[in-house]
Chains A and B, each alone.
Chain A
């Protein structure tokens, strides 16, 4: 059984139908799920629904969850599938109510520095330029800080493939960043350094 100890008891309580346990499970993993979906390119207007879809799948399927893999591994896989679905829906134009949502705000003009939101958008732009498999590997390895072995388990591919995908993804990130005026990037990142002393991400 590979279920993380902290999650194991919670999963059992959920499987026993304890409603408070469902809420605890949601509260515990909601930030991770939402953040990962954002990093995987789910647009702001689709985020709430996408997070809900992930948890609805969890609620539906948890009874059959055997714990052969960690709960977080399963959650990451659900996030990757949901992000793919969200991108496809957006691409195919499904959904009456989403079609007319506001376009994302434009990136900050050169020379004014990048806000946090603009930084995320820049990274998202780079992520958007990556191939899907490369993006998933990059998010899991570089941004979520998972080990190569765990990333390989989630993506169901060999570790060497993970390395290759991360390598390609870094290349795309570098290329995207190189298109931003360096003055803007440097100013904001220097101020970020002083803010983040000991923040630990």
Chain B
């Protein structure tokens, strides 16, 4: 088969393409593809995969990055959101709505069971929402928790959801400026600017959690804050988490920038989204000067930008160390410590990573991620420190926790035991791994076990 060069015009390339697939032609490439297809199906265990997926579905963990943020926030907002209480109805004040401007993906239900669905026509008079998924006629999906009380109504050309108690989550498609959407809870209004977010009401105290996009918070007609993805907000300046920017009155100058107004962190985030990453770096750097939560957030976001987008882990580490030096009791201290651990691991600084992870384990708030830390330490000892004895101890702690990392820890523990010459214990370990139903290292575990049983190891 001749292969025209990549520079040929499209029409010639298309004409030159033989229409039969490689597997339909004689030749080595076709057989290679067939064989790769066969191998790609090997070792798949749908039952085991379903069991793990069910477990994860009911645990309702978000993606890895935000998992750290949720687990480590000083006040467990996730727990509060699930434990709603109080049935006080409150009235809202009419405020101007902020028009949404960005699109969002389909929503993410937060309750444990798969949702009941209802289609709700949005009218001028308030209509009650049911527990479960409500597909509003305006193209919004609202998920309402059990025993929550919420209504929806048309207000002008916009849509207003009123939460009297409990919790609701929204997913909002792209909306024109004429189709504003907001949620009212207590005397606060949360206006959609294109996002996925959850509002929960505990007594008269609402809590906002934003997963995508940005939500503006109003009291009366005053905009109090804009919360972007990963952020949480609660009244009385009790900002729970990062990515919250207090709404700055127009004309206020930042002390760091002389006569010019320093753009907020949201502006920096927009630069990132627009791909202007170097400008974003400078933007966050300027924002991080001075004090306050805005500066803390800017430093944290700067580190994330440098690590995850620019690939400059050393610079990311510098920003995180700067945070710890300037804000030792800062609101983001936990997240910063974990990010610092991540960078140390990525930079191969094993000893520093072990010391920091040990420090983190000793803190009372480590309870939500002990297993991951022990697993990390096990891997560090095994790979970075060639210390299988210590690694086995760490993996034992993971296994005792019986969480999702257990299966993997069983396997690596068995590998370490083998390296230490503890053959019979290794054998037991491989067997436990295999009977656990995990698939990732199945082939290797089976091979090891077979060779152990044949006395080859």
Q: How large is the interface on A (under 10, 10 to 19, 20 to 34, 35 or more residues)?
A: 35 or more
Q: Are A97 and B32 in contact (CB under 8 A)?
A: no
Distance in angstroms between the alpha carbons of A100 and B271 in the assembled complex: 32
A123 at the interface (CB under 8 A from B): yes
Q: Are B14 and A160 in contact (CB under 8 A)?
A: yes
Distance in angstroms between the alpha carbons of A199 and B23 in the assembled complex: 13
Q: Are A48 and B33 in contact (CB under 8 A)?
A: no
Which chain A residue shows the least CB distance to B47? A27
Q: Are B114 and A100 in contact (CB under 8 A)?
A: no
Residue tally, chain B, CB below 8 Å to A: 71
Stretch at the interface among B94-102, B281-289, B294-302, B375-383: B375-383
Distance in angstroms between the alpha carbons of A37 and B116 in the assembled complex: 31
Q: Are B21 and A64 in contact (CB under 8 A)?
A: no
B400 at the interface (CB under 8 A from A): no
Known contacts A96-B345, A167-B13; A177 and B29 CB within 8 A of each other: yes
**Smallest CB–CB gap between A31 and chain B, Å?**
5
Which one of B28, B49, B65, B115 lies within 8 Å of A30 (CB-CB)?
B49
Q: Is the interface of B mostly helix, strand, loop or mixed?
A: helix
Which chain A residue shows the least CB distance to B133? A63
Q: Are B29 and A170 in contact (CB under 8 A)?
A: yes
Distance in angstroms between the alpha carbons of A177 and B382 in the assembled complex: 35
**Smallest CB–CB gap between B170 and chain A, Å?**
14
Write out the residue numbers on chain A whose beta carbons fall within 8 Å of the beta carbon of B14: 160, 163-164, 167
A112 at the interface (CB under 8 A from B): no
Binding site for A on B (CB under 8 A): 1, 3-4, 6, 10, 13-14, 16-17, 21-23, 28-29, 31-42, 44, 46-47, 49-50, 52-53, 56-57, 64-65, 105-109, 114-117, 133, 135, 141, 307-309, 311, 313, 338, 341-342, 345-346, 372, 375-376, 379-380, 382-384, 405, 439-440, 443
Closest 9 CB pairs of A and B: A123-B36, A120-B39, A100-B379, A35-B40, A116-B39, A30-B46, A61-B106, A189-B31, A38-B40
Known contacts A34-B40, A120-B39; can you find 19 more A-B pairs with CB under 8 A? A31-B41, A35-B37, A48-B49, A56-B53, A56-B56, A92-B308, A95-B64, A97-B379, A117-B42, A122-B32, A142-B33, A143-B33, A145-B21, A166-B17, A167-B4, A167-B13, A177-B28, A196-B34, A199-B38
Binding site for B on A (CB under 8 A): 15, 17, 19, 22-23, 26-27, 30-31, 34-36, 38-39, 44-45, 47-48, 51-52, 55-56, 59-61, 63-64, 92-97, 99-100, 116-117, 119-120, 122-124, 141-143, 145, 160, 163-164, 166-168, 170-171, 173-174, 177, 185-186, 188-189, 192-193, 196, 199, 201
